[in-house]
Structure 1
Amino acid sequence: MAGERPHEFALIKRFFAPLASDPGALGLTDDAATLAPSAGCELVLTKDLLAADIHFFSHDPAEAIAAKALRVNLSDLAAKGARPRGYLLGLALPAAWDAEWLERFCAGLAHDQDTYGITLLGGDTIASGGKLLLSVTAIGEVPAGRAVRRTGAAPGDSLYVTGTLGDAALGVRLRYEPDLARSLALSPDDQAHLLDRYLLPQPRTALAAAVLAHASAAMDLSDGLTGDAAHMAAASGVDLAVEVTAVPLSQAARQVLARSPEWLATCLGGGDDYELLLAVPEDRRDAFERDAAAAGVPVTRIGAARPPVGATGVLGYFRDGASFTLAGKGGFRHF
């Protein structure tokens, strides 16, 4: 990234002000924005920080980097049952950047703003002194007191996930190990699917209303099923029993496991799925599945919540009803 660089205020006016359509943003001409929730609602706030060559690759397309930064936050809002309202963007640019790169980056934001019904409210842009860093604070709203937490799962609830799991974790491994696709006998289409799932998460915002109406607990799967389901179990004080044969896998992931079953730990614990994990009471299952189908979001029942055996809830894996020990590491950890 090299070439023409507008100064700070020209940069804001040229690139970011067109993204700030909410009246409270004041066209990004003030030091702060205002945002009032709709009548009877409260705001839900979430924040994710992304760093180059940790959460994305420095040479990834600018549009994709922007989309990922926004979408991982939208996934958190969906898990709360929240409707997106706006976001704040912190952008720390590396030494080598130019107007063309920033134009493409903002085009990625503009596309997703239109897709997911959200607008820029403000933020800050600085020089990073190193690699590209991105911080998005996303704001949504829910009826007051109704945000769905990870703490509400109860014994007897069914455990659901959206989409398929493990694709992104396999995709990032393909990025680091270019020869891996050949050793796993992946077709070009399967390889492209896994790479795309890592690069561009698909936040399940269309399911937010069903989450709000039916789920007793929910969270997004950013750190993998192994880690995040354990968090839900502990927070809710229940044991979560997951049947590994029920976990939804894409054709590409099934191909990997058919050739090398040891990749199951990566699929379940690798992270970056950005699908939703939900606990749904038994008497809400049918309605939840109908609403999910109407929203066009695939959901799969993978297990159930049980009374805790110990002092705090834990995650247990089962295969065909028998206790199953998953070889390998647990969920993704930053530290």
Structure 2
Amino acid sequence: MSQGEFDIIHQYFDRPIDVEQGVTLGIGDDCAILDIPDGYQLVVTTDSLVSGVHFFDDVDPYRLGYKSLAVNLSDIAAMGAEAKWVSLAITLPSIDEHWISEFCRGFFALADKYQVQLIGGDTTKGPLSITVSAKGIVKKGQALRRNGAQPGDLLCVSGPLGDGGLGLAVKLLIGNCDKVDNQQAFIDALELTEPRLLLAKQLVNFASSCIDISDGLSQDLIHILEKSQCSAQVELENVPLSEAMKKQIQKGHISQLQAWQFAVSGGDDYELLFTVPADKIAAFKQLLNTQVVSKEAVCYQIGKITASLASNQQKETIEHSASSHRAITFTHLKQPINLDKAGWDHFK
């Protein structure tokens, strides 16, 4: 007997609710009902993943389920919030129970890790696409935003950059990426990203601004600089690269400049990019080195916020810097380095 929409929902998506997590009513009614603790604010984010744009048609469904949630939880982390609930709207060309089962297995593997509950959504027929809306909570007035960076703040990231971009290049057979060995490591970085929710818990007490790196370091840094009306210097020798990336450089499969280019504009890293006042960085790093904090909570200092853009002429410069990127200077051992700073843009 063939399964219909509601059979699929009940079999694969309907799970017991946890009242202690603030869910009064979950899947099965017109809306979910949630309880927000006193003194907290709700943060909400939504991302759509479309076949042929955000993922390949033959993508492993487990990995697609995992990543469709991961990219949303990364946004929650960027606000310094605790992830709590998620809704899922999925459009399927047909009912393939093995595919749906594997998608759910990946989705709930990550949801269960961070105790995030699926509270509703929608299923419909059409070209494959996934839209996820994640919700989290943060103490009132403590959410991290993009507009708090100040001159003198230190610019930091939560992990190695460039692997996701190289993984995409490998999949697309761009340039000389066919020479890259250990390709699976970079494809894994592209498809199995880890949201930095554990680090987010610590950032709220130290960071002045934050964003997650989805479209490339330079593209996302520009968003902070636009909102904060500042400029920045990035020291490429301090930009973290994975051991897998370093081995490709050592073997001559890619150049140092190419590795930096992937780190700057490759995208799909989903690490956090954040600023910390200079007088707080020592205490922050000391906290991260304690046994209390998970090894997943890491800070790499890669540069600094260099100037405030206050005049009308300067403001005009920063507002147009999304295309020119004049607000960012890349250096290596204090010497300027010219890199293509453009990141991912759906309409370019």
| TM-score (structure 2 length as normaliser) | 0.88
Query: Which moved further from structure 2: 21-30 or 162-171?
Result: 21-30
User: How far apart, in 2, do the equivalents of 1:5 and 1:299 lie?
Assistant: 51
Deviation at 1:29, TM superposition (A): 1.6
- Residue 219 of structure 1 contacts residue 276 of structure 1 at CA under 8 Å; is this kept in 2? yes
Alignment-derived partner of residue 12 in structure 2: 15
Query: Post-superposition shift, 1:305?
Result: 0.6
Cα shift readout 1:97-154 (whole Å, capped 9, x = no counterpart): 41121112112222111111201010000012x2x10000000000012110011000
Shift of 1:322: 2.2
CA distance in structure 2 between the aligned counterparts of 1:329 and 1:150, rounded to whole angstroms: 19
Q: Give the C-alpha shift of residue 266 in structure 1.
A: 2.7
Preserved contact between residue 78 and residue 272 of structure 2 (Cα < 8 Å) = yes
- Check the 8 A contact 2:264/2:341 in 1, yes or no: no
User: CA–CA distance in 2 between the matches of 1:7 and 1:175?
Assistant: 35
Aligned residue number for residue 282 of structure 1: 278
Retained in 2: the 8 A contact 1:42–1:144? Answer: yes
**Alpha-carbon offset, residue 306 of structure 1:** 1.4
What's the Cα RMSD here?
A: 2.0
**Is the contact made by 2:158 and 2:273 (CA closer than 8 Å) also made in structure 1?**
yes
Q: Does the CA-based 8 Å contact 2:80-2:204 persist in structure 1?
A: yes
Look up the match of 2:336.
Answer: 323
Which residue is 1:199 aligned to? 191
SS at match of 2:14: helix
Letter in 2 for 1:324: I
TM-score (norm. length: structure 1): 0.91
Partner of 1:86: 85
Provide Cα deviations, 1:59-105, integer angstroms capped at 9, x if missing partner.
2221110110000011111111100110110101123x411211121
**Contact conserved, 1:75 with 1:204, CA < 8 A, in 2?**
yes
Contact 2:233 2:303 in 1 (8 A): yes
Letter paired with 2:166: L
Letter in 2 for 1:61: D
Alpha-carbon distance in 1 for matches of 2:87, 2:68: 11
1:169 maps onto 2:165 in alignment:
yes
Whether contact under 8 Å (2:219, 2:341) holds in the other structure is no
Tell me if structure 2 keeps the 8 A contact 1:25–1:121.
no
Q: Does 1:226 align with 2:218?
A: yes
Deviation >6 Å, runs of 4+: none
CA contact (8 A) 2:150 2:308 kept: no
Instruction: Report the 3-state secondary structure (helix = DSSP H, G, I; strand = E; otherwise coil) of the residue aligned with 2:75.
Output: helix
Q: Aligned to 1:46, what secondary structure does the other structure show?
A: strand
Mapping 1:309-320, distance limit 5 Å: 310-311=314-315, 313=318, 314-320=327-333
**Residue 126, structure 1, aligned to residue 124, structure 2:** yes
Amino acid at match of 1:153: A
- Provide the aligned length of Structure 1 versus Structure 2: 324
Counterparts of 1:332 and 1:183, CA distance in 2: 24
- In the alignment, is residue 235 of structure 1 matched against residue 235 of structure 2? no
Could you tell me whether the CA contact under 8 Å between 2:26 and 2:33 is conserved in 1? no
Aligned-pair CA distance for 1:255:
3.5
Q: CA deviation at 1:308?
A: 3.4
Q: How does 1:1-335 map to 2 (within 5 A)?
A: 5-18=2-15, 20-21=17-18, 24=23, 26-95=25-94, 97-128=95-126, 130=127, 132-177=128-173, 180=176, 182-184=178-180, 186=181, 188=182, 191-257=183-249, 259=252, 260-261=254-255, 262-263=257-258, 264-293=260-289, 294-296=293-295, 297-308=297-308, 310-311=314-315, 313=318, 314-326=327-339, 328-335=340-347
1-side partners of 2:16 and 2:108: how far apart?
Answer: 6
Distance in 2 between residues matched to 1:85 and 1:182, nearest whole Å: 41
Q: 1:74 touches 1:205 (CA, 8 Å); kept in 2?
A: yes
Paired with 1:324 and 1:136, the residues of 2 have a C-alpha distance of 38
Specify every segment of 5 or more residues in structure 1 that has no aligned partner in the other structure, as ranges: none
Segments of 5+ residues of structure 2 without an aligned counterpart are 319-326
Closer, same or farther in 2 for the Cα pair 1:24/1:271, shift >3 Å? same
Task: Output the CA distance in 1 between the equivalents of 2:287 and 2:60.
Answer: 35
State the Cα distance separating 1:26 from its structure 2 match.
3.3
How many angstroms does 1:27 deviate by? 4.7
CA drift of 1:21 comes to: 4.3
Instruction: Kindly provide the amino acid, as one letter, of the partner of residue 6 in structure 2.
Output: F
1:224 and 1:166, CA in 2 relative to 1: closer, same or farther beyond 3 A? same
Shift of residue 291 of structure 1? 2.9
> SS of the counterpart of 2:160?
coil
Cα gap change, 1:17/1:25 in structure 2, threshold over 3 Å: closer, same or farther? farther
How far is the alpha carbon of 1:180 from its aligned partner? Answer: 4.8
Paired amino acid for 1:268: V
Report the more deviating stretch, 286-295 or 154-163.
286-295
State the 1:329 CA deviation.
5.0
Distance 1:71 1:162, change over 3 A: same
Percent of counterpart pairs with the same letter?
35
Deviations 1:207-254, CA, capped at 9 Å, x for gaps: 111111110000000001011111111111111110011100012222
Letter of the structure 1 residue corresponding to residue 204 of structure 2: L
